[in-house]
Amino acid sequence: MDEMKVFTGNAHPALAKAVVDYLGIPMGNSQVFQFSNENTFVKILDNVRNRDTFVIQPFSTPVNQSILEMLIMIDALKRASAGRITAVVPYYAYGRTDKKDQPRVPITARLLADLLTTAGANRLLTVDLHAAQIQGFFNIPVDELSAMSLLTTYIKKMNLSPLVVVATDIGISKRARDFAARLDAPLAIIEKRRLGNEDKTETLNIIGDVKGRIALTVDDEIDTAGSLTNSVQTLLNNGATEVYACCTHPVLSGPAIKRIQGSAVKEVIVTDTIPVLGEKHIDKITVLSVASLLGEAIHRIHTGLSVGAMFQQE
């Protein structure tokens, strides 16, 4: 481990600290801050020449500042002659903008991939991308980890029975099917459509039977919680006895916390790919740490072991 250095920006230092604790190494020393004119300054304080370096930075709020910090840190490491630079992005923002689904709109997820590569990243380590095809936007190796084992292990201990796993839309149905298989539960799918470019959706139908069962909704992220609260009410209206929810990325923007508090959802199980702090830390939200998952992946990348084997062993 002597030749490895792990650095963090300002987006989620607590997660980065937990990762280096797992690895048993000190945090890399750096300065990352904004001047009064909002220009970002980065200085790497450790010798990184020919070292294997990792920068941990989820693209969480303030999203654009977090992205720019990562890009500047990568550039600083490249100019300091780092041997290999791995961008560790637990939450990859702009993942929904992965295709040109309207006239004259960008594919921002691809733009971010180009920016990371141009800055000097040699590989990407991330968790549960919104769409698997985002991996193809990169011309560098991409390791996408899954928080599924972490979430399902916790849910199994809850002994929810009889349980039905519910995909919150058709796009997440494959991931939800895998959840259902791990929990030995049937699958239902909520059919919905997004209304324009606003964070509003309309539930059209439930595919599958939820009557008399405890429902567990599955999604990759919860943003404004509008879809979640609509799904909860729809499931209860269709005979579900209770509703729990889980996701990897707790974006929880805008009215999300107020909506969750005011809804009938019993518990929302999330991970710490994004920090859940302050007013977001409410009793209904349970946060599981991905530090050991990221730490093990970083160890395997550094030592040349298989990252995929982490999931084959489950």
Active-site residue, selected from the candidate residues 192, 258, 266, 284: 192
Check whether 130 is labelled as a binding-site residue: yes
Active site residue 157: no
Through-space distance between the first and last CA atoms of the chain, rounded to whole angstroms = 26
Check whether 10 is labelled as a binding-site residue: no
CA dihedral 180, 186, 189, 190 (to 10 degrees): -110
* Separation CA 141–CA 177 (nearest Å): 27
Check whether 226 is labelled as a binding-site residue: yes
Of 55, 65, 1, the residue nearest 28 (C-alpha): 55
Question: What residues are paired with 250 via a beta bridge?
Answer: 222
Check whether 223 is labelled as a binding-site residue: yes
Q: Cβ of 17: how many Cβ atoms within 10 Å? A: 15
Check whether 197 is labelled as a binding-site residue: no
Check whether 39 is labelled as a binding-site residue: yes
* Separation CA 130–CA 94 (nearest Å): 9
Check whether 173 is labelled as a binding-site residue: no
Tokens coding 30 = 């750096």
- Return phi, psi of residue 171, to 5°: -65, -25
- CA-to-CA dists, residue 66 to 11, 57, 190, angstroms: 6, 7, 33
Question: Residue holding tokens 């637990």?
Answer: 90
Check whether 12 is labelled as a binding-site residue: no
Of 181, 141, 103, the residue nearest 307 (C-alpha): 141
Tokens coding 121 = 């990243």
Check whether 114 is labelled as a binding-site residue: no
Check whether 118 is labelled as a binding-site residue: no
3-state secondary structure 213-259: CEEEEEEEEECCCHHHHHHHHHHHHCCCCEEEEEEEEECCCCCHHHH
Active site residues: 192
Residues annotated in the binding site for ATP, as ranges? 37-39
Residues annotated in the binding site for Mg(2+), as ranges? 130, 169
Residues annotated in the binding site, as ranges? 37-39, 130, 169, 194, 219, 223-227
